[in-house]
Structure 1
Amino acid sequence: MAALLALLAVLILFRAFRDLGSALTPLPESKEGADLVTSGIYSKIRHPIYSALFILALAAYLWKQSGSVLIAALLLTALLLYKARYEDQILRDKFPESIEFQKSIPPFFPRFRKGKKP
C-alpha cells in the first residue's frame, strides 16, 4: 500500500510540475510575470504539490510505522496547511480572479460527485 501511495504522489508531482511549467517556484509567491494556473491538475485541486507531499508522508508512515515518522508527517501537514493558506492570500492579492477559483476548486483533494441519475 505504501508503494502505491508513493507512486500516486510522484505522478501527482510530475503532473503539477508539468502544468506549472516555467511558473514553478518553491516559494509561495508567484514568479514575476507568471499567470494564475487554473488548467490541468489545477482545475481539480489548487495545491497538488502539497497533496502529493501529504500522500508521501502517509506512505512513509505506512512503510515505517514509526512514531517519529508519524510526528514528522504531522508536522509537515501542519506546515503545508499554513503555507497553503498563506499562498492563497498572496494569490488573492495578486490575482483578483483567484477568489472565484479558490471558492470553486478544493485545496488538496478533488471532489468526487455522483453522476446525475437519468
Structure 2
Amino acid sequence: MKRALAFGLVSAQFVLLAALAILPHGYLWPVSAAVLAAVIALGALGALLAVLGVAGLGPALTASPIPREHAPLVTTGIYGLVRSPIYTGLMTGGLGLALFGRSVWHIAAWLALVLLLAGKARWEERMLLAEHPDYAGYGARVGRFLPRVGRLRRSA
C-alpha cells in the first residue's frame, strides 16, 4: 500500500509538471522582458536547486518518497539550508512555467503541484523521523522549502 501511494504521488507530480509544459498558453498578462527574465531566472534557479538536491543525497537518493533503509541522513550542503531542495526546485521551476503559460490552468496546475509536494514532503518527513532519531533536531533548525521557514516544532 505504501509503495503504491508513493508511485501515485510521483506519477501525479510528473503529470502536473508535464501539464505546466504543454497546456495551451493564455493571456492573463502580457509577455514582457520582465516576465521572460523572471521565467528564465525561476527556471534556472529551480533546476539548480533540484540538481544540488539530487547530487547532495548520494546513496540516499531514491525516486520514491519512501527513504532508503540504512541510508545516511543528509544535513549538509544544500540540505543545510532547506530540507527538501528537490521539491523547492520543482516548485520554483513550475512557477516559471506557470508565468510563461499565463493561463488560469497553469496557475491551477502549479498550485496543485505545490499542494502535492507539500503533502508528499510531510509524509516523507514522518518516515524520516521514524528512521533517523536526529531528524527532529535537524527539522527544528532547517526550513522545509525555504531557509528558516517551516521548521519542525520541538516536542516538549
Query: What TM-score comes out, normalization by structure 2 length?
Result: 0.69
Give the number of equivalent residue pairs.
112
In the TM superposition, what whole-angstrom CA distance separates every residue of 1:78-109 from its partner, at most 9, and x where no partner exists?
11110111111111111011000011100001
Considering only aligned residues, what root-mean-square deviation do their CA atoms show, in Å? 1.3
2:94 is the counterpart of 1:61? no
Partner letter of residue 9 of structure 1?
A: G
| Residue in structure 1 matched with residue 71 of structure 2 by the alignment | 34
The answer to whether the 8 A contact 2:47-2:90 is kept is: no
**Secondary structure, counterpart of 1:38 in structure 2:** coil
4+ long deviations beyond 4 Å: none
Structure 2 stretches lacking a partner, 5+ long = 1-37, 150-156
| Residue in structure 1 matched with residue 3 of structure 2 by the alignment | none
> For residues 133 and 63 of structure 2, what CA distance do their matches in structure 1 show?
22
C-alpha displacement of 1:33: 2.1
Considering only CA atoms, is the larger Rg found in Structure 1 or Structure 2? 2
In the TM superposition, what whole-angstrom CA distance separates every residue of 1:35-65 from its partner, at most 9, and x where no partner exists?
1111110001000011011101110111111
Q: Which of residues 52, 55, 58 is equivalent to 1:15?
A: 52
Query: What TM-score comes out, normalization by structure 1 length?
Result: 0.90
What's the % identity of the aligned pairs?
35
